[in-house]
């Protein structure tokens, strides 16, 4: 087919973006929990917001496993 290479590269780009979103969500969740525990009480609402956004990002991108498998992080 004429466009098969084009659609393959589109699919690879989408897979990369999902894996990147998964890693960013995982890092945001970890940093949000650490900052919530040891951070100051002045910014607790911001930390909870970071945790909620990270959970939403992880759920949209297919969980933390997608990014770890794609980038081969063990």
Q: What pLDDT digit, counting tens, does each position of 6-51 carry?
A: 889 999 999 999 999 999 999 999 999 999 999 888 889 999 999 9
Q: Judge whether residue 63 has pLDDT over 70.
A: yes
Residue whose structure tokens are 């590269």: 9
Total-model pTM:
0.86
- Measured CA distances, 25 to 6, 8, 74 (Å): 29, 26, 17
The alpha-carbon radius of gyration of the chain (Å, integer) is 16
The whole-number pLDDT of residue 20 equals 94
Residue 34 in contact with residue 72, Cβ under 8 Å? no
Segment (H or E) for 39: none
Q: What is the DSSP letter of 22?
A: H
Mean pLDDT calculated for residue range 48-66: 93
């Amino acid at each position: 087919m004429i466009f098969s290479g084009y659609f393959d590269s589109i699919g690879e780009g989408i897979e990369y973006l999902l894996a990147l979103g998964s890693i960013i969500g995982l890092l945001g969740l970890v940093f949000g929990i650490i900052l919530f525990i040891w951070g100051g009480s002045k910014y607790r609402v911001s930390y909870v917001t970071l945790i909620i956004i990270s959970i939403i990002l992880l759920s949209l991108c297919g969980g933390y496993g997608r990014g770890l498998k794609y980038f081969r992080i063990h």
